[in-house]
Amino acid sequence: MKPTVVLVGRPNVGKSTLFNRLTRSRDAIVADMPGLTRDRHYGHGRVGDKPYLVVDTGGFEPVVKEGILHEMAKQTLQAVDEADVVVFIVDGRTGLTAQDKVIADKLRRSGRSVHLVVNKAEGMNRGSVTAEFHELGLGEPVAISASHGEGVRELMELVLADLPDVTEEEGKKPTHPKFAIVGRPNVGKSTLVNSILGEERVIAFDLPGTTRDSIYIDFERSGKQYTIIDTAGIRRRGKVKEAIEKFSVIKTLQSAEDANVVVLVLDAQQEISDQDAGIAGFILESGRALVVAVNKWDGLDDYRRDRIKHDLDRKLKFLGFAKFHFISALHGKGVGALLQSIDEAYSAAMANLSTPKLTRVLLAAVQKQAPPRKGPVRPKMRYAHQGGMNPPIVVVHGSGLDEIPESYVRYLEHTFVEVFKLQGTPLRVQFKQSHNPFADKG
């Protein structure tokens, strides 16, 4: 599973500046999806071949108005609790403050692994800028400049050094669908898991766990093997749901990363909320295959059904690649069809796309509509091969491919998806310049 790095610190120390720097390159992938809403607190980062999730806790809750911050915001504490590593940022220009001490104390008691980072250190002597922060008792402070990008890469290498390497695990080819049921509180995730597995099964697996673990359940249906990742499972204990735990975006993201198919559950009896769209945005960014379950479809008249469909069209347009199912988890309606779509999405995400066929499809697409010329060089696309799975990545080789417009990339994506019938997974097209030995000669 990808490690989660949580950025903590008092206001104005540079958390979001660092966050933006860590997540910038990844954002480009889904930069201009129409309608996509993303919560700018959660993102994907990578150092070398090590991927991680990063959380900016700044602005999670309104800043306490008077006096020093006596208590870290609840949401921040939850994020710290669910983190693999905490990066605690202080301001090298302001120097050590009382608030820093309060936060340091909380972090020390959290038992998490903490890296102390002194930001805004550009043009300053490393030794002297970090000196006073030793007093926080969180080990050797690391000096960086988030806005200038100094020391950031070294910092992330250090932060990730002690964590288990996930790249090897990622490379393993899965053998069957492993799907995560995600969605905001109360949409019916537990009910859906029950409906898929059958009551007895769930009770048998209803093991107490720690708050941060999801439950993984293997099951068989119609002779086929599945693994379900149940993020809600831990809360479901017998009759009464005591103290419903706070919704965890981190847990949702982690389980989506770990799955090969995500089932996003929505509540048809409520409006599609910003939180729904936010979760949908993360799933899109993760590149996972997706099936949408619009739950609680029972008890709605035609007018309301039309309205919700309209609402979905408008707010979740960017999930056009996914199949939508209108189900009732409570009455077990539509659950079989949902599983079929999970199978289909899984196969699409894991499809083997042969180089000759990809190349044929590419050349036919180019023939039908050539990439627009920009500047003096005409883009030339020569061949395509598969560069990855889950999501399928098609690497197009050629020359003059620097400035292919986004609309043309989408055109190619749609063409590959249609010809290879890849329902339920996003597909990405990447370009690779090959040096053309004849280009300079005339």
Ligand X SMILES: Nc1nc2c(ncn2[C@@H]2O[C@H](COP(=O)(O)OP(=O)(O)OP(=O)(O)O)[C@@H](O)[C@H]2O)c(=O)[nH]1
Contacting residues toward ligand X, per CB under 6 A: 9, 11-17, 58-59, 119-120, 122, 145-148, 183, 185-191, 232, 235, 244, 295-296, 298-299, 328-330
Q: Is 230 annotated as a binding residue?
A: yes
The closest alpha carbon to 24, from 137, 136, 149, belongs to 149
184 annotated to bind ligand: yes
Smallest distance, ligand X to C-beta of residue 269, A? 7
Nearer to ligand X, 3 or 183 (CB): 183
What minimum distance in Å lies between the beta carbon of 58 and ligand X?
A: 3
Nearer to ligand X, 226 or 326 (CB): 326
11 labeled part of a ligand binding site: yes
Nearer to ligand X, 227 or 231 (CB): 231
26 labelled as ligand-binding? no
50 is in an annotated binding site: no
Amino acid, single-letter form, for residue 178? K
Query: Which of 16/110 has CB closer to ligand X?
Result: 16
> What three-state secondary structure class fits 258?
helix
Please report how close the Cβ of residue 267 comes to ligand X at its closest, in angstroms. Answer: 8
CB-wise, 155 or 329, nearer to ligand X? 329
Between residues 80 and 329, which has the closer beta carbon with respect to ligand X?
A: 329
Q: How far apart are CA 162 and CA 96, in angstroms?
A: 27
We find the least distance from the C-beta atom of residue 50 to ligand X, in angstroms, to be 23
Q: Is 59 annotated as a binding residue?
A: yes
CB of 119 to ligand X, least distance (A): 5
Task: Point out the residue whose Cβ comes nearest to ligand X.
Answer: 58
Taking the alpha carbons of 112, 256, 220, 196 in that order, is the dihedral positive or negative?
A: positive
CA distances to 192, 193, 264, 266, 293 from 324, in Å: 15, 18, 10, 10, 6
Q: Is 281 annotated as belonging to a binding site?
A: no
- Quote the least distance from Cβ 353 to ligand X, whole Å: 36
16 assigned ligand-binding residue: yes
Binding residues for GTP: 9-16, 56-60, 119-122, 183-190, 230-234, 295-298
Binding residues: 9-16, 56-60, 119-122, 183-190, 230-234, 295-298
